[in-house]
Amino acid sequence: MQTFIDAFSDIDGPILDLGCGTGRLLVEFLKARRDMVGCDAANDMIEWAEKVLAEADVACPLYVQAAHQLDIDQSFAGVYMCGAFGLGGSRQQDLESLRRVHGHLREGGRFVMDHYLPNLESPKGWEAWITKPELPRSWPKHVERKVARDGSEFELRTRQHDFDPLRQTTTLEIEVTKSRDGEEIGQERGLIDIGLYFLSELELMLASAGFSDVQVTSFGEPTAPEPWVDRRILIQAVA
């Protein structure tokens, strides 16, 4: 998250965290005394963010709005999206999101987003672009484990449910299992559609939304991203 804080260190004025989730980054910006607004498409995320901010003894306005319908009566010196671009919507909605971000920035304001390039880490993932895979894929052996503050344990598994190389979309299935003292007490599964974007397409979308001076770096490094090396990149653009 320091990468995002650093990206705005040289500009003053209000900053919008678009797709703020539970307020993970908002808290750090607010502790650094930045003037913040948070926004997320999901009502429950904003409810969590309210709690997380209150526990950290910080506060800022929070809105429930999807990026492609962003309509906040304020203009910002900066807007960022961390892990929130391309989720759940169509390409038209993603382009409209960038237009709305542009419309909420002051002239010369800065937009910053991180982005994961499609499936660069997995040769198996690439095969699916040329040969139809069996879908949904089997569940991976790897399980991500987390312990909540109340001591309950969560196991998270993700698998590819659908993929369309023509439309560049993938659907992930996410399964969360909750247990306490080793005993399973609940399980939920959900699907999320993700738009897959290559860098040139994003650059064209940003230009089409009105942005200029688009700069791309390796995530967390000031250097240009390297082909075959970088999977997560940071994109900055000027309104």
Ligand X SMILES: C[S@@+](CC[C@H](N)C(=O)[O-])C[C@H]1O[C@@H](n2cnc3c(N)ncnc32)[C@H](O)[C@@H]1O
Residues at the interface with ligand X (CB under 6 A): 19-21, 24-25, 40-42, 45, 66-67, 82-84, 87-89
Amino acid letter, 158? T
CB of 146 to ligand X, least distance (A): 14
Question: Which residues partner with 135 through β-bridges?
Answer: none
Is 95 in a helix, a strand, or coil?
helix
CB of 22 to ligand X, least distance (A): 6
In the complex with ligand X, which residue's Cβ is closer, 25 or 128? Answer: 25
| Closest residue by beta carbon to ligand X | 21
CB of 49 to ligand X, least distance (A): 9
In the complex with ligand X, which residue's Cβ is closer, 40 or 230? Answer: 40
In the complex with ligand X, which residue's Cβ is closer, 42 or 179? Answer: 42
Any idea what DSSP says for residue 68?
G
Provide Rg for the chain, Cα atoms.
19
CB of 187 to ligand X, least distance (A): 21
In the complex with ligand X, which residue's Cβ is closer, 78 or 89? Answer: 89
In the complex with ligand X, which residue's Cβ is closer, 41 or 239? Answer: 41
The answer to whether 45 and 63 have CB atoms below 8 angstroms apart is no
CB of 41 to ligand X, least distance (A): 4
CB of 47 to ligand X, least distance (A): 11
Any idea what DSSP says for residue 121?
T
Q: Report the candidate in 143, 235, 226 with the shortest Cα–Cα distance to residue 184.
A: 143
Is 64 in a helix, a strand, or coil?
strand
Please state, in angstroms and as integers, the Cα–Cα distance from residue 219 to each residue in 1, 28, 111, 194, following that order: 11, 18, 15, 20
Between CA 239 and CA 72 the distance in angstroms is 17
The answer to whether 36 and 30 have CB atoms below 8 angstroms apart is yes
In the complex with ligand X, which residue's Cβ is closer, 87 or 176? Answer: 87
